[in-house]
Structure 1
Amino acid sequence: MADRRSSAPSAAPDLPALGGRRSSYRERVADALRAALIAGELRPGEVYSAPTLAARFGVSATPVREAMLDLAKEGLVDTVPNKGFRVTEVSEKQLDEYTHIRSLIEIPTVVRLATTADPVSLEALRPAAREIVTAAAEGDLIAYVEADIRFHLGLLALAGNSHLVEVVGDLRKRSRLYGLDALVRAGRLEASAREHLELLDALLERDERAVHAVMTRHLGHVRGLWAAP
């Protein structure tokens, strides 16, 4: 596989699906487009046509157009009549709102897991937490986001509420795609990455106070990094 940090995006069929999803070719194309957004290859505010993106990714225009419509439903792009799709620009206010909603959902849910989650299930998340740290150190944004999604949504899934996982997953897609490339260049992503291991250790120690502190710091830390990349 080609280096996923390179400026030229890989063909969609060769890119791994974010979050482990591979259920359809259309979804794999959408995942490839998300990967290009994460790596900064598709820029906020820019307009891209389906044929141009199809040529760039080495696929036909139809799955690209369908995938972009999926991304439009997620709020990642806007349709521009007769031109294509504009990558959505996210304001500081929107990022603040996303972070606030995530804190209202994720912090109490994860704190409860300190007393309810099976230690074996928690320990099973450690490989993903380590992958996050490794990807951050290597500046591999696609691998970082893949592992980050697996860890956080896998952790929330232990609460047994699939709708909660779906809501948080949507919020993460709307926010986590922005600013990561700048954070890597500034060498500031590893500190946030290491917090995943710290959180896991606190959960395994059944320390609710420590879990609350790490989760609060993690969300605030990430928002702070977005604000000043």
Structure 2
Amino acid sequence: MPGSDAVKRTTLRSQIADALREEVIAGRLPAGRQFTVKEIAESYGVSATPVREALLDLCSQGLLDVELHKGYRVREFSYTDFLAMMEARRMMFEGMFRHAIERAVNGAGPEVLASVRRRADEAARAASAGELDVLIGYDLRFWGEFAALVGNPYVAGFLARVRVQSWVFMVPLLRRVPDLRGRLWRGHPEMVQALARRDSAEVMRLTLDYNDHALALIESLAGS
């Protein structure tokens, strides 16, 4: 059935995109790295079509650039780019996100809170232990579920995109630190507690604290 083949290809495309995104965030596909569709297809043992589609997805997310007649290159973000990301996140938090916070708080029912709490506890544990790779995975899932409570997929999508790009810039700097214990933001459980209390003011404070912590940490590392 053609429809079945299309579903399989779409699933494969998504799987490859997710895997490559993780490689880029973790720095295993570092900034400036060039590669071709053929190289990735051979690496994953798949055909070129889902790989090409997955790479275009990552281009649309701002993680890759297309190089004419050469293939693809992992985008290089500068410190200026990072500052702009932090500013954009704060503007979104203080603008549209502030107005939607009540919707997020009210949408945090028992089942949602249980799921978000699991992400929060694991993220906080990884942050306390300085386990960067583990933290990134749980942090992205935590904020993804939280942003979904806002009920606006465009807001959630924008924040997810900028958050991933922020990690791409931050990770190489953070890997230079011998011991990250105590230096990474670990307020995720407090956010869940605030959600459970329907404390929108505290949710907002913690959201901004997350942003400010990342900015201060990277500023200290970039200047060292």
TM-score, structure 2 as length reference? 0.77
Give 1:171's aligned residue: 162
Q: Please identify, of 170-179 and 186-195, the stretch whose mean Cα deviation from structure 2 is larger.
A: 186-195
Give 2:41's aligned residue: 54
Give 1:70's aligned residue: 57
Specify every segment of 5 or more residues in structure 1 that has no aligned partner in the other structure, as ranges. Answer: 1-21
1:176 counterpart SS class: helix
Contact 1:110 1:211 in 2 (8 A): no
Alignment of 1:94-105 (within 5 A): 94-105=81-92
* 1:147 shift after superposition: 2.1
Give 1:152's aligned residue: 143
What is the aligned length?
207
1:213 matches 2:213:
no
Q: 4+ runs of 1 displaced by more than 4 Å?
A: none
**Aligned sequence identity (%):** 31
* 1:166 shift after superposition: 1.9
Specify whether residues 185 and 132 from structure 1 end up closer, same or farther in structure 2 by C-alpha distance, changes over 3 A only. Answer: farther
* 1:86 shift after superposition: 0.9
Contact 1:51 1:61 in 2 (8 A): yes
* 1:111 shift after superposition: 4.8
| Candidates 184, 197, 204, aligned match of 2:189 | 197
Give 1:224's aligned residue: 216
2:29 counterpart SS class: coil
Give 1:42's aligned residue: 29
TM-score, structure 1 as length reference? 0.76
Specify whether residues 158 and 100 from structure 1 end up closer, same or farther in structure 2 by C-alpha distance, changes over 3 A only. Answer: same
Specify whether residues 113 and 172 from structure 1 end up closer, same or farther in structure 2 by C-alpha distance, changes over 3 A only. Answer: same
Give 1:106's aligned residue: 93
The separation in 2 between residues aligned to 1:152 and 1:189, in whole angstroms, is 21
Specify whether residues 115 and 173 from structure 1 end up closer, same or farther in structure 2 by C-alpha distance, changes over 3 A only. Answer: closer
Larger CA Rg, structure 1 vs 2: 2
* 1:75 shift after superposition: 1.3
Specify whether residues 200 and 189 from structure 1 end up closer, same or farther in structure 2 by C-alpha distance, changes over 3 A only. Answer: farther
Query: What is the alpha-carbon root mean square deviation over aligned residues?
Result: 2.8
The separation in 1 between residues aligned to 2:151 and 2:210, in whole angstroms, is 23
The separation in 2 between residues aligned to 1:152 and 1:23, in whole angstroms, is 25
* 1:30 shift after superposition: 1.0
The separation in 1 between residues aligned to 2:153 and 2:81, in whole angstroms, is 24
Contact 1:46 1:86 in 2 (8 A): yes
The separation in 2 between residues aligned to 1:197 and 1:54, in whole angstroms, is 40
Give 1:18's aligned residue: none
* 1:209 shift after superposition: 4.0
Per-residue CA deviation, residues 155-211 of structure 1 (Å, 9 max, x unaligned), is 122222222212212222332233225425523376434211122223323444433
Select the structure that is richer in helix: 2
The separation in 1 between residues aligned to 2:58 and 2:121, in whole angstroms, is 29
Specify whether residues 113 and 170 from structure 1 end up closer, same or farther in structure 2 by C-alpha distance, changes over 3 A only. Answer: same
* 1:81 shift after superposition: 1.5
* 1:100 shift after superposition: 1.8
Residue type matched to 1:201 in 2?
Answer: Q
Specify every segment of 5 or more residues in structure 2 that has no aligned partner in the other structure, as ranges. Answer: 1-8
Residue type matched to 2:148 in 1?
Answer: A
| Candidates 28, 40, 45, aligned match of 2:15 | 28
The separation in 2 between residues aligned to 1:74 and 1:176, in whole angstroms, is 13
* 1:115 shift after superposition: 5.6
Contact 1:114 1:207 in 2 (8 A): no
